[in-house]
Amino acid sequence: MNTIIRASAPAKVNLVFEVGQLATDGYHPVNSLFLALDLREELTLVKGEQGTGISIYVHGDSLPESHIDSVPTDQSNLVHKTAVLFAQKLGRPTPDLQIDIRKRIPVAGGMAGGSADAAAMLIAMNEFMHLEHGTPILAIEELAVIGAELGSDVPFCIYGGLAIGTGRGEVITPLTDLAFETNWLLCASSKGLSTPTVFAAFDEMGSHTPFSDLNEISATTSPAELGQKMANDLEQAAFRLMPSLRDLVDQLEQLGAVRAMVSGSGPTIAALFDSEAKAIEVSKVLKSQGLVALTAKGQAPGARLDG
Ligand code: C5P
């Protein structure tokens, strides 16, 4: 029997994203309140024929063709890098693999789509190497340490739920769940924004505020209260690079969002609603304007094996 492993990992929104001054390592210290959404990347890993290396097939679900076409399938794909790094950490050669990625998270959209792929791949590789080569199953904390080498958001995609991210975003402190379910409308752009470009625009604008106590914010009791506390230090930088985003935020709030905000480094706009029905209703309005609008719920579990 050929080994087939399925894994998935969630998208994230930063309910709060506070950014400090650029450090000498090329990263910004952050204070982030992460929430995982039930919009999940799905990955299937199949043992390949000996000597065939790694082949990656990417397809989409409710995403524009342009998003799927922009994902590389060679060794620059984060999932490929994950396979190589994971095997290296175990002191094993990189296995031959066929990997299928079903993308649901907007690409280069500030929602950790690539990081979710890496997180799902780490969970899948952990199982694959154990089944095929008898290597020990690594704990979630060990996977998060490896994940941090692949990208700052990968550890959160492994943990999921609600968590504080510090350092460059990779130091995760899990929190207890929000007291209520959150309903989101995610409006994706046809063009992505590069994370380093948005951070560079933020540096040029030079506005830093002190970090807040995110434990307090996580204890909110309603969408309205949470909406008031949502904040993203990168939002103005994203607006500067893509001015149309400001109009979209205004439009979403006029249409009834409790709060609409650039997600992470953007350009996806994450709009919080106080009911699923309202989020769906507004998604129809945006779709009729030719926009990509996806509904999702928070919170959701982190990377996991799927049956
Ligand atoms: O960690 P990740 O690979 O996702 O980061 C991509 C880029 O985003 C980094 O090379 C850096 O330019 C920028 N970044 C940053 N500060 C962070 C996270 C990312 O400046 N905390």
Mean pLDDT of the chain: 96
Q: Compute, in angstroms, the gap from residue 236 CA to the centroid of ligand 1.
A: 17
Mean pLDDT of 123-142: 97
Cα–Cα dist 123/133, whole Å: 15
Which residue, judged by its Cα, is nearest atom 10 of ligand 1?
Answer: 196
What's 235's DSSP letter? H
Report the percentage of the chain scoring pLDDT > 70.
100
Whether 278 is a known active-site residue: answer: no
Higher pLDDT, 85 or 63: 85
DSSP 92-103: -PPPPEEEEEEE
The confidence score (pLDDT) of residue 191 equals 85
Residue 219 — very low, low, confident or very high, per pLDDT cuts 50/70/90?
A: confident
Provide the angle, in degrees to the nearest 10, between the axes of the packed helices 140-150 and 78-89. 130
Closest CA to 115 of 265, 240, 272, 295: 265
φ/ψ of 297, rounded to 5, equals -120, 150
* Tokens linked to 111: 């929602």
Residue 1 — very low, low, confident or very high, per pLDDT cuts 50/70/90?
A: low
The confidence score (pLDDT) of residue 192 equals 85
Note the pLDDT tens digit of each residue in 152-185.
999 999 999 999 999 999 999 999 999 999 999 9
Residue 79 — very low, low, confident or very high, per pLDDT cuts 50/70/90?
A: very high
Cα–Cα dist 185/252, whole Å: 9
The confidence score (pLDDT) of residue 46 equals 97
Note the pLDDT tens digit of each residue in 35-74.
999 999 999 999 999 999 999 999 998 888 888 999 999 9
DSSP 107-152: TTSSS-HHHHHHHHHHHHHHHHHHHHH-PPPPPHHHHHHHHHHH-T
Q: Is 265 exposed, middle or buried (0-12, 13-18, 19+ CB in 10 A)?
A: buried
Whether 203 is a known active-site residue: answer: no
Residue 218 — very low, low, confident or very high, per pLDDT cuts 50/70/90?
A: confident
CA 270 to chain centre: 12
Identity of the residue numbered 281: E
The confidence score (pLDDT) of residue 190 equals 82
DSSP 69-87: HTS--STTSHHHHHHHHHH
If one residue of 32, 81, 146, 195 were mutated to test the ligand 1 pocket, choosing by the most ligand atoms within 8 A of its CB, it would be 195
Note the pLDDT tens digit of each residue in 261-284.
999 999 999 999 999 999 999 999
Catalytic residue among 103, 117, 153, 233: 153
Q: Compute, in angstroms, the gap from residue 196 CA to the centroid of ligand 1.
A: 6
The confidence score (pLDDT) of residue 148 equals 98
The confidence score (pLDDT) of residue 62 equals 86
Residues with a CB atom less than 6 Å from ligand 1: 26-28, 30, 151-153, 168-169, 195-196, 199
Mean pLDDT of 20-29: 96
Closest CA to 198 of 223, 249, 228, 232: 232
Residue 18 — very low, low, confident or very high, per pLDDT cuts 50/70/90?
A: very high
Q: Compute, in angstroms, the gap from residue 253 CA to the centroid of ligand 1.
A: 29
- Judged by average pLDDT, the poorest of 121-125, 214-218, 241-245 is 214-218
Closest CA to 60 of 94, 96, 101, 21: 101
pTM (two decimals)? 0.97
C-alpha neighbours within 13 Å on the C-beta side of residue 211: 18
